[in-house]
Each structure stands twice: as structure tokens, then as C-alpha cells.
Amino acid sequence: AQSVSQHNHHVILSEAASLELGCNYSYGGTVNLFWYVQYPGQHLQLLLKYFSGDPLVKGIKGFEAEFIKSKFSFNLRKPSVQWSDTAEYFCAVIPYSGGGADGLTFGKGTHLIIQP
Amino acid sequence: NAGVTQTPKFRVLKTGQSMTLLCAQDMNHEYMYWYRQDPGMGLRLIHYSVGEGTTAKGEVPDGYNVSRLKKQNFLLGLESAAPSQTSVYFCASSTPGTAQETQYFGPGTRLLVL
């Protein structure tokens, strides 16, 4: 079975700082990778996803992530964060071969707080 | 399109009571999922369905039952609620049968079991 590890459970940054959230997964085959965001009191929204092709993917709100296959990593980045980026961020994977039937496997989440 | 909707938004139960959470989607998705979210645990899959009339167990199925009588609806039942089932429950759905589907989530149901 696959698993996902997010390196930081809590991150506090000042506005305009750069952000990198780590995500590593374990699985022996091909996976699809996702980052979801959950703003306070809201449901999960898709930030970005990687299926194939260019390992650097861009998402909404200026976020990007880089898939490094050799490191089983899919780290999320943003050059300059804003107060409105305060949220919980989840990395998730799904095996390519399963066709989606097994559901997503999530990391435990990173709680990001941006200080004005 | 409403996307994925969940009913109710919030519920308080006493230990031993039963209830059903309803998830509805209007995107004609084949796959539907129920997750629970607990602090520090991320989201964990409870049950899922790959089509009308079919269901399967996920990572944490104990204490829950599900039914998918109609393609657009996925019901999650708690027959005898326990305090350990206090959680936020999210439903999701995805496009049919490809490996590149994206799951779309509902707004969640917050359940408190006393």
C-alpha cells in the first residue's frame, strides 16, 4: 500500500516570504500526485496535480510543485506568500494502475500560518 | 452545477444513536468516496463506490455502512454512533474509470458524538 509523508505539521511565515512544503510518498509503481488546500472552515480545493510530462507543474494562486521521481517527492512551492494563504495543505497520491478506484492516500497535512 | 453537496452540515449525536449522511453529485461521476478528517491524521478513506450498486471498504470502514442505490447519491450510515466517530466527514466524486481523474470534494459534515 502507498503512504504519504509531509515533513512539517506547522509552518509560520511572514508575508512575502518564500514557501516550500515537503511531500514524500512510498509506492512501487506509477502514481498521480495532488496538492489540496483547505482554507479555514472550507472544504478541500485542488491546488495542482501531476499526472505525466513536465515534472514542474503550476497550479492556482501562484503555487507550483516539482515531481522528482528519484526522490519520490512532490514539494509545493510559492515564491512570495500572502496572508490569504493561511490554510491547511494536503499532499495526496493515487496509484496510476488502480484507475482511481482505491481513493486518495493523504498526508497528515501542513498547517500554514502567514503573519502580516 | 452544484458539484458535490452534503447533508447535514453539522450534527450532534448521543452514543448509540444512528444517522445517515447524504452525499449528492451532479457531475455524472462514476466513483464516489467517503473520507473522515481528524486533527493530525489527514483524510482517511472509509468506503468507496465505483458505480451504482457497488461499494467497497477503504482504510477505516469499521462502524460504518454505505449504499449507492442511485449513481448520483452515496449514503454513509452509522448504526450505533461512538465518540470515536466524532470527526468531519467529506464526500468526493471523480470522473469515470481513468487514472487521471481528479476528486472533487463536498463541503463536509461535522459530527459530534457525545
Q: What is the DSSP string of chain A?
A: --EEEES-SEEEEETT--EEE-EEEE-SS-EEEEEEEE-TTS--EEEEEE-SS-SEEE-GGG-EEEEEGGGTEEEEEESS--GGG-EEEEEEEEEGGGTTTT--EE---EEEEEE-
Residue B100 confidence class, pLDDT cut points 50, 70, 90: low
State whether residue B102 sits within 8 Å of chain A by CB. Answer: yes
| Residues B24-76 pLDDT 10s | 999 888 899 999 999 888 899 999 998 899 999 999 999 999 999 999 999 99
* Among the listed residues A86, A1, A69, A7, the one whose alpha carbon sits nearest the alpha carbon of residue A33: A69
Q: How far apart are CA A2 and CA A4, in angstroms?
A: 7
Look at B99 and A49 and tell me if their CB atoms are within 8 Å.
no
Cis check: omega of the bond before B83, within 30 degrees of 0: no
Is the per-residue pLDDT at B99 higher than 70?
A: no
CB contact under 8 A, A101 and B103: no
Q: Which residue spans within B8-79 are E strands per DSSP?
A: 10-13, 19-25, 31-38, 42-51, 54-57, 65-67, 73-78
Asked if B97 is an interface residue toward chain A (Cβ–Cβ < 8 A), one would say yes
> What is the model's pLDDT at position A101?
66
Residues of chain A with C-beta less than 8 angstroms from the C-beta of B3: none
Q: Find out whether B95 and B78 touch, Cβ atoms under 8 Å.
A: no
| A7–chain B Cβ distance below 8 A for any pair | no
Cβ within 8 Å, pair A43-B105 = yes
> What pLDDT sits at residue A31?
85
- The pLDDT of residue B98: 55
| Res. B90: pLDDT tops 80 | yes
* Torsion over CA: B74, A103, A44, B95 (sign): negative
- Chain B residue with minimum CA distance to A31: B99
pLDDT digit of tens for each residue in chain A (116 aa)? Answer: 789 999 889 999 999 999 999 999 998 888 889 999 999 888 899 999 998 889 999 999 999 999 999 999 999 999 999 999 999 999 999 887 655 567 889 999 999 999 98
Instruction: For residues B80 and A82, give the distance between their C-alpha atoms in angstroms, rounded to a whole number.
Output: 44
pLDDT computed for residue A8 by the predictor: 87
What ranges in chain B are assigned the alpha helix state H?
none
Query: What pLDDT is attached to residue A98?
Result: 58
CA distance linking residue A103 with residue A92, whole number of Å: 10
- Partner-chain contact A46 B102, CB within 8 Å: yes
From A32, A42, A103, residue closest to B99, measured CB to CB: A32
